[in-house]
Amino acid sequence: PPGRKVLIVYAHQEPKSLNGSLKRVAVEELSKQGCSVTVSDLYAMQFEPRATRNDIVDCLHNSEEFNYGVETREAYKRGGLSNDLVEEQKKVQEADLLIFQFPLYWFSMPAIMKGWMDRVLVQGFAHEFPNCYDSGLLKNKLALFSFTTGGTREMYAKGGISGDIRYVLWPMQHGIMHFCGVKVLAPHICFAPEYVSEEKRKEMLIAWAQRLKTLWKEEPINCSPEWYFK
C-alpha cells in the first residue's frame, strides 16, 4: 500500500546475478505500489562486518575491560555510535518491512550480512531483556528472507541430505528477527539457480514479482519452534 516503507538489505557482489535481479524486481514492484524503498547494498557500501571498538565514537563506559554488548548499548543511549550504524538504525526504524536478499553461504547468510546483524541490532535499539521475542523493541515490523541456494529443493527436504531448509532458517528468522520482536513472512527461496535453464531463472523472477503484488495481505508465519522442527 502507498506510504509503506521498505528496507532491502542486499548482499551480493554482482548486480547481474540472480540475487541482483531479485533485488531489482523488489525495488520495481514495491515502488510501483507506492511504497518507498531503500536499499542497503552492503558490498557496494563496503559495509564493515566486524564488531569493534571503532563502533563507539566517544569515550568508553568501561575503559578497563572492553565488552562490546555493554559498550554499544551505552553508546546507543547517549548517541555515541559510529555514523554507519546510526544510518542503518535510522533505516530500520523507519521501515515497515525488511527484506534480506542474499545467496546462502554455508547454511547461513554471508559474513557481510551477519556483520550487519551483529552491529546494527544493538541492545536498547532492537532488544532489551526481558523485551525480546514477542515484546522485542522492533515489534510492528515485518521481515522476509529471500535467498538463493546451491543445493536443490530435494537436498533441502526433511529427508534430504542437507535436512529441512527450515532448520537453516531457525537462527536467522527466530534467533535474530523474532528475538527483536519482528514478525516474519514466509521465506522466498530460489533453489539451485546455477543448475537450471535461463528460462527457469526468468520464471523465478516472475514468481517473486507475483508474490510481491499481494505481499501485504500475507500473514506472518507461526513464530514458534513448531514451524521449524515439526
d(CA 126, CA 118): 11
d(CA 134, CA 136): 6
Name the residue with cell 542503518.
88
Q: Which three cell numbers stand for residue 98?
A: 525488511
160 and 205 Cβ atoms separated by less than 8 Å: no
Helices (H), 45-82: 68-78
Q: Which three cell numbers stand for residue 6?
A: 521498505
pTM score of the predicted model: 0.97
**pLDDT tens profile 37-76:** 999 999 999 999 999 999 999 999 999 999 999 999 999 9
Domain extent for 160: 5-229
Cα dihedral 110, 11, 9, 56 sign: positive
Q: How many domains does the chain have?
A: 1
**pLDDT tens profile 199-212:** 999 999 999 999 99
Which CATH number belongs to the domain containing residue 215 in this structure? 3.40.50.360
**pLDDT tens profile 71-101:** 999 999 999 999 999 999 999 999 999 999 9
* pLDDT confidence of residue 85: 98
Cα dihedral 18, 22, 23, 29 sign: positive
